[in-house]
Amino acid sequence: MVVVAERQTSSAAGWSRRTAAFSVVLLLTVLVGHRLDLVETPVFLWVLAIVALLAAFALLFAGFALSRLWNFGDRGGRDLSVGALLALLVLAPFGVAAYWATTSPPLRDISTDLDDPPVLDTSDRTADMNVLSPPTPGEQRLQGDAYPLVTGRSYNLPFETVVDAVETVLDRRDWQLQGPYPETDGQSEVTINALARSFVLGLPADVAIRIADDGNTVIVDMRSASRYGRHDLGDNAARIVDFLGELDQEVAGQVGRRRPNEI
């Protein structure tokens, strides 16, 4: 009589599926919580690290279960497949972030004027946030090499017209203003401060936009500084380039609308 050994079900496959599923639920929960300001950013970053660790463990469990299936014929192919797929989906954004970290300079404070950056509003900054300091010569070189499009703007227009254009562009964004728009009467320089957030993770960054009339032209400079993290992954530079590009279009549109009335 031939005895056929019963195939075992791999416990590692089940752990792979459960661990990966938990990492997905935890990731979605903390993302929503952070977006709704229910989870503070430092806690959010720690939870992201835990999510990545859980997904990595899920892949390890899946690899061990696959070896058991291959060598001993254990059951659990569906569980390990689901676990591996979910883990890879969770780890994909971390892989993209790692790529950005290797292809962009380790900067977290970007300004169009490196010699005299616009002043940020620090009234609600806390001790656990990044320290604001003037850029070193090395950081200035890194920014200039990596982000050549991060440059200020100069307009041959009335001071009030440029300020209105800046405020119009700001109104289109969901940035949180750090106070009411400044009065322009009798002023030749104003600075508007706001709190912006990154598109995916909602990481906060302080933004300052300075509009100054030097007598001949109106100069617009902008600064964006991440509140947390040693590396902004290019977020601050992208924010400045996008805003000033839209400002160029808004200024051109305002000039176009004014000309028929001036004729």
Give dist(CA 136, CA 11) in Å, integer. 54
Give dist(CA 6, CA 26) in Å, integer. 37
CB-CB contact of 143 with 108 (8 Å): no
CB-CB contact of 172 with 164 (8 Å): no
Helix (H) / strand (E) containing 28:
helix 11-35
Helix (H) / strand (E) containing 199:
none
Residue with the two structure tokens 């900054």? 125
Give dist(CA 176, CA 170) in Å, integer. 9
Helix and strand tally (H, E) in the chain?
A: 6, 6
User: Which amino acid appears at position 41 of this protein?
Assistant: T
pLDDT of residue 146: 94
pLDDT of residue 260: 53
pLDDT of residue 187: 87
Per-residue pLDDT of the chain in tens (263 residues, 90 and over written 9)? 444 445 565 677 888 889 999 999 999 999 999 988 899 999 999 999 999 999 999 999 888 877 767 665 565 567 778 888 999 999 999 999 999 889 899 999 999 999 999 999 988 899 889 999 899 999 999 999 999 999 999 999 999 999 999 999 999 998 999 989 988 888 899 999 999 998 878 899 999 999 999 888 999 999 999 999 889 999 999 999 999 999 999 998 877 666 554 43
pTM: 0.84
Q: What is the pLDDT of residues 84-116, one digit of tens each?
A: 899 999 999 999 999 988 989 999 999 999 999
Q: What is the pLDDT of residues 139-178, one digit of tens each?
A: 999 999 999 999 999 999 999 999 999 999 999 998 999 9
Helices assigned H by DSSP within 112-158: 137-146
